[in-house]
Amino acid sequence: MKVSGKLVEIFDTVKIKDSFQKREFVIEYATNPKYPELVKFEMVQDKCALLDGFKVGQGVDVDFDLRGRKWADPKGGVKYFTTLQAWRLGPASGGGEGGADEAAPPDVDTEDYGADKGGDMPF
């Protein structure tokens, strides 16, 4: 998935264990500029250093994976957690500050695709 926005906050890298570290950052994302969203992402391991060349206020493109997990507490309660794990970060290419969500691919008409490509589907 991919999203564009403006960097609002960059946190320091936090070492969770000797073998694991993460770093979080927040972007302002807005499909409608009147109602911007502040969205927190995390980077892990060697990806933490990708934030070093960026500054608050800069427009960025973020490529990320949507991650989720279930956790059962000792009392038997269940909670669900969602994480936006960024794996690539670059200067904004286009609007920069706005936020066209490019996560959804364009619609593909499978009949047209098959006719143009000799009948072979891409999957």
Q: Which residue has the tokens 């999957």?
A: 123
Domain membership flag for residue 106:
yes
Reported as a single tens digit per residue, the pLDDT across 65-77 is 999 999 999 998 9
Domain membership flag for residue 93:
yes
How many domains, in total, are found in the chain? 1
Strands 20-29 and 59-72: what pairing? Answer: unpaired
Asked if 71 and 46 touch (Cβ cutoff 8 Å), the reply is: no
Domain membership flag for residue 64:
yes
Cα distance between residue 5 and residue 67, in whole Å: 20
Domain membership flag for residue 28:
yes
Asked if 64 and 84 touch (Cβ cutoff 8 Å), the reply is: yes
**Residue 66: which CATH number?**
2.40.50.140
Q: pTM here?
A: 0.70
Query: Band of the pLDDT at 97, cuts 50, 70, 90?
Result: very low
Q: What is the pLDDT of residue 93?
A: 86
Structural domain that includes position 10 = 2-116
Domain membership flag for residue 122:
no
Q: What is the pLDDT of residue 32?
A: 87
Reported as a single tens digit per residue, the pLDDT across 10-32 is 999 999 999 999 999 999 998 88
